[in-house]
Amino acid sequence: MNIYNYDWWEVLIFLILLELACILMAYILMSVWTGKYSKGGSSGRRKKGVFMHGRKRTD
What digits encode the pLDDT tens for the residues 4-40?
677 888 999 999 999 999 999 999 999 888 887 766 5
What are 33-59's pLDDT values in tens digits?
888 776 655 555 555 555 555 555 555
CA angle at 12 for the pair 10 and 16, rounded to the nearest 5°: 120
CA angle at 39 for the pair 36 and 45, rounded to the nearest 5°: 130
Higher per-residue pLDDT: 2 or 59? 2
Helix (H) or strand (E) holding 54: helix 8-58
d(Cα 59, Cα 17) in Å, to the nearest integer?
62
**pLDDT computed for residue 8 by the predictor:** 86
**pLDDT computed for residue 1 by the predictor:** 60
**pLDDT computed for residue 42 by the predictor:** 54
